Every structure is written in C-alpha cells, then in structure tokens.
Structure 1
Amino acid sequence: MMMEDVEVDQRKQLPNYLLDAAGISIERMPMLNVIFDRMAASCTDSLQPMAGTPCYFSVNGITNDPLGDIIKDYEGNAVAAVLYAEQWDSRVIIMLDRDFVFTMVEAMFGSDGAEPPLDVERTFSNIEIRLVQALFERFAKALQSAFAGTSNVTFRVERVETAMASLAIGRASNMSICANMMVQALYRGGQMFLIIPHSALNPLRQKLATVTASDGRATDPRWREQMESEVHRTEVTLSAVLDEKMISLEDVVKFKVGQVLELEATPRTLARLESNNQVLFWCQIGQLDGYYAMQVADPVDQKREFVDDILSR
C-alpha cells in the first residue's frame, strides 16, 4: 500500500519535473504581463509628485534570454541595482540605460525640455548616482506592490553598480525573464530593464499561469462608499519633529539625568508634521488652553523635499 502511494505521488509530480526541465515559457505565464503592467503604472504614480513634468512608464516587451546576453551591450552605458528578495532567497536586477538616467535628471531638476537631449559618453556624476539610488528604492517598492497578489515578497536594494560585469547574480548562461520598460518625459525617454532569473520564478509558475481577475465589488457604488467611509475612520499616528541633531554614540552613553541638549531650533522654527515617515506639513508650534498646539503653516513640496534629500546624501 505504501509503495502504491509513493508511485501516485511521483506521477503527480512528474509534470512539474518536466516543466522545470523545459524551462519557463512567457506564453504559459500570462500573469507576468499583468505584473509588469502594474509595476509600470506604479512607477508612473510614484514619480508624479516628484517630477516637474509628467513621466510615463510602459512595458515595451518581455523576452526570455541568458543573463549575459541581456547586459553585455550596456557596459559603461547603464547603471543597475541588485535587489534581494528574501522570501525567494534570490536576486533580481533593475537596469537603467544612459538615456533613462539623463531624462530623469532633467525631469527631476525642473528642465522644460528646450535643450536637446544630452548625447555624450561619460561616467555618471555623483548627483546622477544619488538620483538613481533614490529611484531604485521607489522601483523596488513598485515591484513589490505589483507582485502583492501573487507572492508576498519584499525587495531590498542590495547594491548599485555601473560596471555590468559586477552584476553577479548567477552564471551568464542562466536564463532570465527580462521586461523592457520605456519612460517618456520632456519629449524624450529611455529604457529600464527588469531581469528576473528563472530560478526565482519557478516556485511561482502555477500562480503565474492564471491571470487573477479583479474584484467585481470595486464597481459597486455601495461597496465603494462603504470602503471610503471605513478609510476615513482609520486612525493614524501624527508626529511633530522640531529639530534633529547628529551626535556620536560616545556622547549618547554620557547622557545624565538633568542634562540639557541644545538644539538649533528657535521659537520661529517650523516643525515637521509626519505620518508613517511621510512629511505632510510644516507647522508653527504654540499653546492653546494650556496644551502645546500646532498651526499648519505650509504644505510640503514633495518635489523639493525629494531633490533636497538627493543633494544631501
């Protein structure tokens, strides 16, 4: 009886072994198209408040090629990030070509597109590298959001490289899925490549073989009103930050009860009102009925904050 059970189990697993041996077929995983479209839409939305001009992302194509063939033509003409997916115990690559980087620099720093596109081969500047590092963080979150319905995975930027030979996430002959995404802004654009090795997608093959339908309740007006009502009642935590000061760990261990810490803030200094690590408003601190109170002075210019964060790195 036990031998029969083993034989039945082996017969059930045989199709999976055959599929693993044959490799991954894009046509047999239509959910990949949906995931990459979601990522493109998420990238567009995430950059909307940061850029001085609209930036549009779209999927230009999906290929199935050896890793070495994908990156070999971009040595010295691209910058790439290696993302670590802890739940998959695997790594993926996001690669931006030179035109993409230059387009993003102009879009983020307020260019109107009047000047012709920069067409010069040179090493990337420190500011350009800082900018793409910030972009890679956003793109990693966009990819994580795109996979949310299929796999509960998080992507962490492990390192950023300008030398394509340093992108060692496997053998050059290892087959990988490559999604080519185009960005368009200021009447110009560039290419972004998302490279995922077969070894990372193999465990998800069955989930990726079926397109997950969207929930029909989203079109129900009563359901939408109920959802909106519940969202409005959601409690959030607000934090007010008056000033921050960098000190050494040596100074921290010397703290004593009653010690006074001097801040650079003054009575006119505006405090940051934050929620979930997101700056919302600049506020004036005062008193009302014996309690500290905050009066909203200015909304936060997210684009300005984004640029300042890049320049301060």
Structure 2
Amino acid sequence: MTSPGSPSETRALIIERLVGDSGEADQVIAVGRAMAERALPLLQKALAGELGAPVAVDLQTVEVGRVPEARSRAGEAFALTVVPSPSSADAMTLVMDAQAVAVMVSALFGGDPDQPVAPIERDLSPIEADVATTVFQEVAAALNGSGKRSLDLRLPVPKAIAGNEARRRVLRDGAAVGIVYNLSTPSDSGTLTVMIPQRLLLTSRDGEAAAGKDGKATELDWRARFSEEVMRSTVRLEAAMPLARLTLGDLAAFAPGQVIEFEENAQLNARLSTRDKTLFVCEFGKLGQNYTVRVSRPHDAGQDFIDGLMPG
C-alpha cells in the first residue's frame, strides 16, 4: 500500500476515512444514475396516483458531492428529511426547494396547471411540510429498491422539517451521490435533491458498482436482477365466466336479441387469466357498486383437460 505524497494528501485521506468512504466518481455516478432512472417511472406513477394531477418528474442531474450540499442549493425556504436504515442513521437525505413545494401543493389542491404558481418566500407552513413529506415518501420508496440492491430504508420517512429547524439540522458531512429531480407543471418547476452517502451506495450495491470486482457478475446476481425487473412488469388480467355448453347447431341458430342462460355453477368457476394463460379459478361476485372475483384456487391444467374429455 502506498502512502500519500504530501502532508495535505495525508490529511485529506484521514478526513475522508472519518466522514465516509468514496469511490471512483464515474463509477459512483453510473450507479446513481442507474438507480435514479430505474425509479423514475415508479415515481411518476406514484405521484400521479397520490396527487390526481399531472406533475412531470424529470431527472435533472446525477453528480458526486457532499451530503450538506443538498441544503445549500435549496435557498432559504425548503423542506428536509433524513431517512435512516439499519446500517446508517442518514442513509438518504431529501431536500425540496420552496418552488417545488409550491408546485406540489398547487397540484394537490386543484390549482390551474397552466397558471404560474405563487412563489413561497417564507418558512413553510405545516400543511406545506405535510405535502413535502408525502412526496419524500414516494421518492424514498421508489429509490429504495428491493432484493440485493435495496437500500433497506426504514419507511415511512420521518416527517419533513422546515424553517429554522431545517436550517439548523446537523447533517453529517461525507462523500455522497446527488440525484436531482425536476418537478414541474406547464408553467412552473422546482427541484428535489436526494443525497445518498457513497459508503452506503458502494456497500449495498457493490455487485452493481464493481460487477463482482472481477468485471463480471455471477449467474445468481444476473438471475436476481432480471427476476426483479420481470416482477415489476405489468400485465393485463382478464376474468371470464363459463357461459354454457352448446352444439354447433345451437350456436348457428343464434339470433340478435336471444338470451343465453348461465350454467348453474358458472358464478363459482370464473377464470382469471393473462396473455391467454389461465392462472386461478375464482368466484364471481359484487361488492357495493363494483363487480369482483375472489380467488378460490390455482388453476389445474391437467384436471381441466380431463374435465374437457368427460363433460358433465
């Protein structure tokens, strides 16, 4: 192991080891960008469902920095929260500037998206802090991930703080990757900054950052990654109820307006399927004003084949 060439380099190395390890900047940014881009569609969908209004979420930048920089770039008025994990008391620091808070508050309470949002030039109110907490929760959940790549954040996030409490909050200095999202409507925008310590990022995502340290991931690593992405994909479910068994002659005699009776046990044998593959046998019913299907048992293709050979 070689030692630094000067006292200043030695001092910098000691300080870095005290406040947090750092990795190669390009590698850290690549891992942070992959995480941010993976979370982007989840975050967009979650906020649309939470707000019920169109707010665009765009990835503005991913860069290396220090944890306190998230607060320094937000101006005088902002919301802040620090999310812990089992391995770190400050696994994620989230800061939302006042303009982003104003955009989200306007969207939540039905403001006209085509009209400029009144800027917030004071400390945030409790309601505005609550809105920021809601947004922070969705961002943390989207970035948290799952499986081996999970940051293992302790969710839900702590309530957002603002004003003097947020400005005086002590943030442990350390190397971090900064992810900046832009939250916007057609007329206004603001920024939300996420800081994740590099010591945590490099530990929890070592396989992704270093690719097994020898330039290639193991088969199990790749299988875990692909399995996670597949489980996130969406499919269309279809529920169908058996109608009746008829001859081709009966079918040919059908005429407009004809009424067809369901079989006696049709309601108990609805089939839940996706992409032409039957998954479950269900019971058809109604809950309030909505029709429902309740899963009864997994579909048995073998038994279904036998039943088709010997119709009742």
Q: Give the TM-score normalised by the residue count of structure 1.
A: 0.58
In structure 1, what is the Cα distance between the partners aligned to 2:236 and 2:289? 33
Q: How many angstroms does 1:227 deviate by?
A: 7.1
Point out the structure with max Rg over C-alpha: 2
Aligned to 1:165: 167
Q: Is 2:252 aligned against 1:296? A: no
- The RMSD of aligned alpha carbons is 3.7
Which amino acid in structure 2 is aligned with residue 233 of structure 1?
A: F
Q: Is 2:117 aligned against 1:123? A: no
Q: Is the 8 A contact 1:82 1:167 kept in 2?
A: no
Q: Is 2:188 aligned against 1:192? A: no
Q: How many angstroms does 1:109 deviate by?
A: 1.1
Q: Is 2:136 aligned against 1:136? A: yes
Gaps of 5+ in 1: 1-16, 236-292, 300-313
Secondary structure of the structure 1 residue equivalent to 2:160: strand
Q: Is 2:94 aligned against 1:97? A: no
Aligned to 2:53: 53
Name which of structure 1's ranges 82-91 and 100-109 shifts more when overlaid on structure 2: 82-91
In structure 1, what is the Cα distance between the partners aligned to 2:47 and 2:208? 28
In structure 2, what is the Cα distance between the partners aligned to 1:138 and 1:59? 15
How is 1:42-81 mapped onto 2 (pairs within 5 angstroms)? 42-81=42-81
How is 1:200-215 mapped onto 2 (pairs within 5 angstroms)? 200-204=200-204, 206-209=206-209, 215=226
Name which of structure 1's ranges 151-160 and 32-41 shifts more when overlaid on structure 2: 151-160
Greater relative contact order structure (CA < 8 Å, 6+ sep): 1
In structure 1, what is the Cα distance between the partners aligned to 2:90 and 2:50? 31
Q: Is the 8 A contact 1:51 1:110 kept in 2?
A: no
Q: Is the 8 A contact 1:87 1:154 kept in 2?
A: no
Q: Is the 8 A contact 1:92 1:197 kept in 2?
A: yes
Dislocated runs of 4+, deviation >6 Å: 211-214, 223-231
> Is the alpha carbon distance of 1:298 and 1:233 closer, same or farther for their aligned partners in structure 2, counting shifts above 3 Å?
closer
Secondary structure of the structure 2 residue equivalent to 1:155: coil
> Is the alpha carbon distance of 1:295 and 1:186 closer, same or farther for their aligned partners in structure 2, counting shifts above 3 Å?
same
Q: Give the TM-score normalised by the residue count of structure 2.
A: 0.58
In structure 1, what is the Cα distance between the partners aligned to 2:122 and 2:151? 40
Q: Is the 8 A contact 1:140 1:155 kept in 2?
A: no
> Is the alpha carbon distance of 1:90 and 1:117 closer, same or farther for their aligned partners in structure 2, counting shifts above 3 Å?
closer
1:195-239: per-residue Cα shift (whole Å, max 9, x none)? 011222231353232688774996xxxx9998768895399xxxx
In structure 2, what is the Cα distance between the partners aligned to 1:86 and 1:134? 22
In structure 2, what is the Cα distance between the partners aligned to 1:183 and 1:201? 24
> Is the alpha carbon distance of 1:168 and 1:295 closer, same or farther for their aligned partners in structure 2, counting shifts above 3 Å?
same
Q: How many angstroms does 1:101 deviate by?
A: 0.5
